Amino acid sequence: MTQKLIFTLLSFLVLYSCKRVDGKSTTKNEPSEELKVEMIKEEIIENPKNDLKLTDENIIEFLYDYEKNNKENKVRIYTDFGQIEILLYDNTPYHRSNFIFLAKKKYFEGTQFYRVINNFVIQAGNSDNISVSKKRKNIGKYLLPNDFNKGHFHKRGAISMPSSSLDNPYKMASPFEFFIVQKKDGANHLDGNYTVFGEVIKGLEIIDEICNAQIGSSDRPREDIKIISVQLIDK
């Protein structure tokens, strides 16, 4: 009787230790197949292909895919003078998604309003700081195609993207920089040369304050006017 009871218990323990719900065997220290799948998914999420170096050859495909999953169209720029809120236009998708991409990469942090012309524009997105050069190098080297014909103009508060200063017959845009029109009656002579991809919806008075700063040579402020950060605004 005792031997029969011991045999029954041993059989039960063997069956219990070797069977899972899915019928596969497992051991105590080996993670289940479900856990392995979850771990792989987590690794993919934590290491997205955003480390891809962007070039003229891959930028359009990258922004086309990026735009599908990143629909944000409002940002808040924190500066030494205060906050500026920007609405980015949906019908300039490459420029909008490029700006959102750079904001999420925290590229603009530490850049400056390095060109300030009262009664005209303020220009930002660059800096003498070596950290900004490193950010650009890590992101890549590319230009954006122009997008002039979407019904947007260089009115007061328009945000636009300057063209590259290189040999540039197609007026491709320099993706890391932008300018905002401060002139009260706009700067319509710029239409058809630069892509307007958004407008200021709050903080025009901050732009006027920046334009009243003391300016040195080459339209550069005597004291740095920094962009502290660019944050996305929920719809």
Predicted pLDDT of residue 23: 38
Predicted pLDDT of residue 201: 98
pTM of the predicted model as reported, rounded to 2 decimal places:
0.77
- Among residues 60, 63, 89, 85, which one has the least CA distance to residue 75? 85
Beta-carbon contacts of 112 under 8 Å, excluding residues fewer than 6 positions away, are 124, 126, 127, 221, 224, 225, 226, 227
- Among residues 110, 100, 48, 101, which one has the least CA distance to residue 235? 100
Specify burial of residue 39 (Cβ count, 10 A radius: 0-12, 13-18, 19+): exposed
DSSP state of 166: S
What residues pair up with 179 in beta bridges, in sequence order? 123, 160
Contact 81, 221 (CB under 8 A): no
- A 10 A CB-CB count for 79 gives 22
**Tokens encoding 19:** 């069977």
- Among residues 201, 165, 178, which one has the least CA distance to residue 98? 178
Chain centroid to CA 54: 13
Predicted pLDDT of residue 166: 62
Mean pLDDT in runs of 10 for the chain (235 residues)?
44 40 38 32 38 93 96 97 98 97 97 97 95 96 91 97 76 94 97 95 98 96 97 87
Residues of the chain with CATH 2.40.100.10: 50-232
Predicted pLDDT of residue 235: 63
Residue with tokens 């603009």: 108
Predicted pLDDT of residue 25: 41
Predicted pLDDT of residue 170: 74
Report d(CA 215, CA 221) in Å as an integer.
4
Predicted pLDDT of residue 143: 94
H or E element that contains 171: none
Pick the CATH number of 50-232 from 1.10.3720.10, 3.40.718.10, 2.40.100.10, 3.40.50.300: 2.40.100.10
